[in-house]
């Protein structure tokens, strides 16, 4: 019988007890639950990783607009600018932001992506993971390990908070994606389990309260640009955590705060497009245009 691990404290304890990395423990448990070998389980994760890379590749060479016509050509714009003049923060920053836009734009034009954890937040984990792996020459095995850790982080959060904008706002979608990325990146940088948990906590803490107020109810405004923003946010969290900077509030308590904030958040700001950006003057004009076109 596999003991179910549904909090970060339990995860930390069991990893310490078994002297395992987060990914090792998660991989073995998943394989056991699915009644498959750990190699077969790794292959499942690799399929997701490969699909993430394919989405980046397709997204980089398209500027096809979404059905609504509101978004789709920003990745192209960003690439042209970087070709002309590099990013202030260098190549890694360029890659993360470009890959994030490539992926999320591939999503809105009905291309193939990996929901991670959701479609609207699908670009955050891949952009950080793939860009860093390319720049630091990280092996595929290590990339898979990092993705397992990202999945394990999201899984534990999902026990307390449904990862849906309609339930807890964008903090539970892009916010959690950013926290997952921070943990995965911290692991790639050689972080200990404790440092990984701190990276997650630091990323999550600084996104509490993020609402879900999409214009026209579509996964476009502000979702598209939010993905590169929160990908970079993940890097900040990992950099701090790997320096042994700790979240003064333990991770499980941060997740409690996430849950409470989600409950207190007005339903008008939870994917219902009844307030916030969705009800600005310009958003209403876009809405008129969109519904006339449809």
Angle between helices 223-242 and 193-205 (to 10 degrees): 140
**Could you tell me which residues come within 8 angstroms of residue 223 by beta carbon, excluding any fewer than 6 positions away?**
104, 120, 121, 174, 214
Q: 155, 160, 246, 289: which one contacts another protein (CB under 8 A)? A: 155
Binding-site member from 111, 206, 209, 275 for another protein (CB under 8 A): 111
Phi and psi dihedrals of 212, rounded to 5?
Answer: -120, 100
3-state secondary structure of 212: strand
Count CB atoms within 10 A of the CB of residue 243: 10
Separation CA 143–CA 60 (nearest Å): 21
34 binds another protein (CB under 8 A): yes
| Neighbouring C-beta atoms of residue 246, cutoff 10 Å | 15
The nearest distance, CB 44 to another protein, in angstroms, is 6
For another protein, which stretch binds (CB under 8 A), given 62-70, 94-102, 239-247, 253-261? 62-70
- Give 155 or 246: the residue with its C-beta nearer to another protein: 155
Question: Which of 252, 291, 266 has its CA nearest to residue 165?
Answer: 266
Q: Report residue 159 CA to chain centroid gap.
A: 17
Answer for which of 4, 19, 137, 139 binds another protein (CB under 8 A) is 4
Rule CB under 8 A: choose which of 101, 150, 161, 201 binds another protein: 150
Of 79, 98, 118, 171, which lies in the binding site for another protein, with binding defined by CB under 8 A? 118
Site for another protein in 183-222 (CB under 8 A): 216-220
Task: Specify whether the CB–CB gap between 68 and 218 falls below 8 A.
Answer: yes
For residues 182 and 238, the answer to whether their CB atoms sit within 8 Å is yes
Complex with another protein: residue 39 or 84, whichever CB lies closer? 39
**Residues 63 to 102: which contact another protein by CB under 8 A?**
66-68
Question: Which of 79, 97, 98, 107 lies at the binding interface for another protein (CB under 8 A)?
Answer: 107
Q: Is 231 in the site for another protein (CB under 8 A)?
A: no
152 binds another protein (CB under 8 A): yes
Cis peptide before 79 (omega within 30 of 0): no
Contact assessment for residue 69 and residue 293, using Cβ atoms and an 8 Å cutoff: yes
Binding segment (CB under 8 A) for another protein, from list 30-38, 94-102, 131-139, 191-199? 30-38
Interatomic CA distance for residues 130 and 29, integer angstroms: 25
Of the candidate residues 96, 108, 202, 241, the single one contacting another protein (CB under 8 A): 108
- Candidates 119, 138, 208, 257; binder of another protein (CB under 8 A) is 119
Q: Using CB under 8 A as the criterion, which residues of the chain lie in contact with another protein when the complex forms?
A: 4, 6, 26, 30, 33-34, 44-45, 47-48, 51, 66-68, 106-120, 122, 125, 147-148, 150-152, 154-155, 158-159, 162-164, 166-167, 180, 216-220, 290, 294
């Amino acid at each position: 019988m596999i003991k179910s691990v549904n909090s970060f404290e339990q995860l930390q304890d069991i990893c310490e007890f078994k002297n395992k990395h987060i990914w090792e423990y998660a991989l073995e448990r998943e394989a056991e639950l699915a009644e498959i070998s750990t190699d077969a389980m790794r292959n499942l994760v690799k399929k997701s990783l490969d699909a993430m890379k394919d989405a980046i590749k397709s997204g980089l060479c398209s500027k096809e607009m979404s059905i609504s016509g509101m978004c789709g050509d920003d990745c192209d714009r960003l690439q042209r600018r970087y070709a002309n003049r590099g990013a202030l923060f260098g190549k890694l920053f360029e890659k993360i932001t470009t890959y994030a836009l490539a992926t999320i734009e591939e999503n809105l034009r009905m291309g193939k992506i990996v929901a991670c954890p959701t479609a609207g937040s699908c670009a955050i984990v891949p952009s950080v993971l793939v860009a860093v792996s390319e720049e630091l020459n990280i092996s595929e095995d290590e990339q898979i390990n990092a993705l397992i850790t990202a999945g394990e982080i999201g899984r534990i959060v999902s026990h307390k908070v449904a990862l849906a904008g309609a339930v807890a706002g964008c903090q539970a979608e892009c916010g959690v994606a950013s926290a997952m990325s921070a943990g995965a990146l911290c692991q790639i940088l050689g972080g200990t389990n404790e440092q990984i948990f701190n990276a997650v906590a630091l990323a999550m803490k600084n996104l509490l309260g993020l609402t879900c107020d999409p214009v026209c109810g579509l996964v476009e405004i502000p979702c598209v640009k939010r993905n590169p923003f929160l990908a970079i946010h993940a890097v900040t969290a990992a950099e701090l955590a790997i320096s042994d900077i700790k979240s003064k509030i333990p991770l499980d308590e941060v997740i409690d705060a996430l849950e409470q904030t989600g409950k207190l958040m007005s339903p008008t700001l939870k994917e219902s497009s009844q307030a916030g950006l969705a009800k600005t003057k310009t958003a209403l004009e876009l809405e008129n245009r969109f519904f006339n076109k449809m």
